Amino acid sequence: MVIGLYGVPGSGKSFLINHLKKSMYSKSVFYESSEAIDSLVPGGLEAFQALGDLGKAVWRGRAIERIKKEALEKDKIAIVTGNFMFWPEEQAVGQPLYSVKDLHVFTHVIYLKTPAECIFQRNSRDQNEDRPVVSVEHLRKWQEAEIIGLRHVCFQSGILFHTLTDPASLCTSAEAVIGYCQFTETQVGQDYIVTDQVHDIHYEHGREKLETALVFDAANAFTSSDMGSLFWNAIDRILPQNASTYALKELLNGSLGYSHTALVQTALLLWEVVEDKYDALCEAVASSVEVNPEVVSLLRAAAEHPHILAVVVTEGPALVWEKVLERQGLSDTVSVLGEETSGMFVVSPISKGEIVHDLREFYHLHVWAFGQGPMDFMMLKEANEAVILVGDEEDGNSSTKFISALEGVASSYTNKTMIPVGRLGDPDFVKSVLRRRFEMVHATEKGAAKLLPFSMRNASTADTMPTESYKSVGTYLALEYVSELVGLEEHSMTGEQGQQLSRYQLRDEQWTSIVAITSKGEIMASGVKETFPSAKIIVGASVSDINHHLQHQRTVILVAPTINNGQKMMEYIEQIREIHRQIRIVVVAGIVHAKVTERVSLSKGMRSSAPLSP
C-alpha cells in the first residue's frame, strides 16, 4: 500500500509526516518526494531542476517505483509527500507535477485542505523556506484546482481519495484514515467483519431455534425508489454544495460502479463531507423511501415465527434502512447489514454472497435470498432458494437479461423462482417461505393409515396383496403429504376442445429423484413415481454411489417401508448433504418406530439437512 500526502506548500505535509514517523514507525516507511528524487538523480535536486518536463517526469516515475519496491521488500506501508501542481500567482493555470507512474503506484491519496488563511500566515512567517507567498484568494483557487484534478485522476485510476480540513485534528484524523485504508485495502478484511456480524445476528436471534433465513437486498427488494436520486436530493437539502458533495452525488449514482474500491471510496467521501450531519442525511433519505407493502407484509409474518431470521443487506449506509424498518415497526425483528457510521464495514456484492454463504454453511440455515439485478448475483448464487424479483412488464428488460445470465451460469446450483414483487404476498408463496424446515407429519389416526400398514404385514393374504399394499402406501403418502409439504406448481395445458386448462405437478418435479432405500422400498417408490410421473426413480443405489444420481436435482425423496432405528436413513441423508448442501430431502415411510422420532441425533441431522418428513 502506497499513500500519497498532498497539499499546497505550507499545508502541513512535513509536520504530519514527522508525527506519523513517531506514531506509525513500526508499520510504515516514510518519504519526502523531493528527498527521494535527490537521492536518485545523479547530481541531486539541482541536476533534476535543470531537466526538461519530459526528463523530470521520467525521474519522478523512477522515484515512485523505487519507493514501491522498498515498501514491498520491507512489507510496510509507504507514506509519501508529494506535489500535484505548481501555480505561481502571476500565471493563469498551474503546472502539473505528477507522473503517470504515480497513478499506477499510489493506492490512496490524502489531501490536506488546510484553511487558506492558516497557510498564508505560515508561509509569511517562514522566511527560511523557498516557498512562494501568494494571496489567500489564490491559495483557495490552487487548493480547489488540486482537489478537483486529484479526485478526477484518482477516481479514474482506482486510487482512494480523502481530504482532511481541520488543522487541530490533523494528526489523529490522518492516523484514523490510514488505519481505515489499511483495513479495507482488500476484501479479506471485510470478510472477517462479515463473519463476526453474521455470528452476532445469529446469536442475538436464538441460535438453537433458527431454521430459515430470509435475506433481502434493500434497494432491489424493499423499494422501487431510486436510492441514488433520494440521496442526491437529501444532500442538496442538508449539505453545503461544493466539489466534494458533487463527487459524493456522482458516486451514489453509481458512476464508479459497485466494486469494493468504489464502495470504500463512497464511505470515505461520506466521512469527509457529512461529518455531524450523518444522522440527519440518513433520516431524510429514509423518510422518502416508499417501501413495497408486500415485502413488509412478508417480514411481519416472518416475525411471528421464531425459527426465521430476517436480514436486510445494503451497499449503502445501514442507518438508512434501520430507520426505514423502524418506521414500519420491524426494527426489533429484522437485522440490517450495511455500511457502518465508522466506515469500517462496507457491503460489496462479494460480501453479500459471504453473508448468505455463512448463514447456509456455518449455521445450517435454509436461506431464501431476494434480489433483482447483477449486484445480487453472488447472494442469489449462494442461497438455497433464489427469488428473482421481476418488475412491471415495461421495466422488465434488465431483469430478463439478468435472469438469462443467472440461468446460464448458475443453473446447476440454485433453485430459482421468478416472481413479481406484487406476488410476494401470495398465500401459497408465503406458506412455502414460513414453513418449518424439519416437519414430521403422520397419518397414525387416519383410517387409511390403519388399513394400509396392516395389509403390508398381513401374511395371511395372497402373495400379491403385500406388493399392492406397498404401492398403495407410496401413492397415498405422495398425494396426501408430499404434495403439501413440497408444494405444487401450476402449468397450463390445452383441452380437447382447444381451451386453456390448468394442471398441477409437484414443485420442481422434473428435478426430483425418488430413491428406494430397500428392495421392498422399490415397490413403494413406484407408487410415489406414479403420482409424480416427471420425477426420476432410482433403485439399487448404495449409500456410497447415491450422489452420482443426484447431479442437478433439487429434491430427493427417500422411500422406505419401515424405519426401525433410523441409522440407515441417516447414512443416506448425511452422504447426500455432504455433496448437495442445497437439495431438498423428503423421507417417505410406511411405518416409523416411535423411538426413531424421539432420537435427538436424527432430529438434528434432519433439521440441518432441511428435510420434510411425512
pLDDT at 23: 84
The rounded distance, in Å, linking the Cα atoms of 361 and 325 is 27
Domain ranges of the chain: 2-183, 188-237+273-434, 447-612
pLDDT at 281 over 90: no
Provide the grid cell at 457.
404385514
Task: Name residues whose C-beta falls within 8 Å of residue 22's C-beta, 6 or more positions apart in sequence.
Answer: none
- Per-residue pLDDT, averaged over 510-523, amounts to 89
Q: Is the pLDDT of residue 606 over 70?
A: no
571: nearest Cα among 524, 603, 605: 605
More confident residue, 496 or 521: 521
**Highest mean predicted confidence (pLDDT) among 61-70, 114-123, 528-537:** 528-537
- CATH class held by domain 447-612: alpha beta
CATH class of 188-237+273-434: alpha beta
Q: Residue 552: how many CB atoms within 10 A of its CB?
A: 10
Q: In this predicted structure, what is the pLDDT of residue 342?
A: 53
% helix / strand / coil in the chain, to the nearest 5? 55, 20, 30
Q: Which residue has the higher pLDDT, 125 or 118?
A: 118
On the question of pLDDT at 456 being above 70, the answer is no
Name the residue with higher pLDDT: 220 or 472: 472
**Cβ neighbours for 515, distance < 8 A, ≥ 6 positions apart:** 525, 538, 541, 546, 549, 556, 557, 558, 559, 572
- Kindly report, residue by residue over 288-297, the tens digit of the pLDDT: 888 888 889 9
Q: pLDDT at position 440, please?
A: 64
Looking up cell 442507518, which residue turns up? 319
User: Would you place residue 3 in the very low, low, confident or very high pLDDT band (cuts 50, 70, 90)?
Assistant: very high
Helix (H) or strand (E) holding 195: helix 187-204
Residues with Cβ within 8 Å of residue 123, at least 6 apart in sequence: 9, 10, 129, 131, 132, 133, 134
Per the prediction, the chain carries an average pLDDT of 80
Residue by residue, DSSP assigns 263-317 as HHHHHHHHHHHHGGGHHHHHHHHHHH--B-HHHHHHHHHHHT-TTEEEEEEEEEE
Asked if residues 344 and 193 have their Cβ atoms less than 8 Å apart, the reply is yes
Q: Is 348 helix (H, G, I), strand (E, B) or coil?
A: coil
Architecture of domain 2-183: 3-Layer(aba) Sandwich (3.40)
2-183 and 188-237+273-434 in the same fold:
yes
Reduced 3-state DSSP string for 451-473: HHHHHHHCCCCCCHHHHHHHHHH
Rounded Cα–Cα distance for residues 363 and 330 (Å): 23
Predicted confidence at residue 138, as pLDDT, reads 95
- Helix boundaries (H) for 75-128: 100-105, 116-125
Closest to 261 measured CA to CA, from 111, 155, 352: 155
pLDDT tops 70 at residue 344: no
Per-residue pLDDT band for 395 (boundaries 50, 70, 90) equals very low
Q: DSSP character for 416?
A: E
Say how many C-beta atoms besides its own lie within 10 A of residue 277's C-beta.
16
Lowest mean pLDDT among 99-108, 140-149, 249-258, 343-352: 249-258
Banded model confidence at residue 343, pLDDT cuts 50, 70, 90:
low
Query: What was the pLDDT predicted at 614?
Result: 43
Phi, psi of 349 (to 5 degrees): -55, -35
Average pLDDT over residues 192-216: 78
Residue 134, pLDDT above cutoff 60: yes
Q: How far is CA 315 from the centre of its chain?
A: 8
Does 464 score more than 80 pLDDT? no
Q: How far apart are CA 30 and CA 168, in angstroms?
A: 22
Beta-bridge partner residues of 217: 313
pTM: 0.66
Q: Please, which contacts does 195-201 make with residues 24 or more away whose CB atoms are closer than 8 Å?
A: 195/354, 195/358, 197/337, 197/345, 197/355, 198/337, 198/355, 198/358, 198/359, 198/362, 198/363, 201/309, 201/311, 201/335, 201/337
CA distance readout (Å), 462 to 280, 513, 525: 81, 31, 21
Q: Which three cell numbers stand for residue 535?
A: 420425477
**Which residues, 6 or more positions from 140, have their beta carbon under 8 angstroms from its beta carbon?**
116
Copy the grid coordinates of residue 127: 522566511
Q: Model confidence over 380-392: pLDDT tens digits?
A: 888 888 888 776 5
Euclidean distance between CA atoms 601 and 364, whole angstroms: 15
Please report the pLDDT score of residue 465 as a whole number.
47
